[in-house]
Structure 1
Amino acid sequence: MNFTHYNLGQKSKGEVVEITLTNAANVRLMNYSNFSNYKNGKKHEYYGGYITKSPYKIVIPSLGTWHVTVDVEGLQRSTRSSLNVLSR
């Protein structure tokens, strides 16, 4: 599976992540264990989904180490992405 990975490191609840996409894509915000499951093709939970409007903002739900992935699995296009963590 091809995907772009952003390791956000330790983030606090309420921090905002902004993802910019050139085309619609699947965006997933996951903790470490769910990211590990995602990489291994296992069932995982995430915040986000199929994103059609850019930029897309998502709030970190709890203190921890977080990862964002961007992929176009099942879609007929490619995308480029960039990510910023916004100040509160």
Structure 2
Amino acid sequence: MRKWIAFIAVMIGASLIITACGSAKGEGKDTLDKVVLDYAYYSPTSLALKEFGWAEEVFEEQGIEVEWVLSHGSNKALEFLNSRKN
């Protein structure tokens, strides 16, 4: 159980680092309003993130909405997430 908690903490930390590295500076800065994440029944990490609302907590601090999408496989998840670019 400790390994899962540590793994999830690392994943959340990684998402924070990625978000921080992706922030732009300047007048023409586009703001991110929503992030779409997929979850799958075969991925315990994604189920834990969704169930306990940890992703929402992290992104809420930055005013970013989280939308969850059920994944039917890694290739389908990528196709779906890429097709919905706004």
Identify whether the pair has TM-score above 0.5, normalized to the shorter chain: no
Higher strand share: 1
Specify which structure has the bigger relative contact order, considering alpha-carbon pairs within 8 angstroms and separated by 6 or more residues. 1
TM-score, length-scaled by structure 2: 0.28
Higher helix share: 2
TM-score, length-scaled by structure 1: 0.28
Looking at CA atoms only, which structure, 1 or 2, has the larger radius of gyration? 2
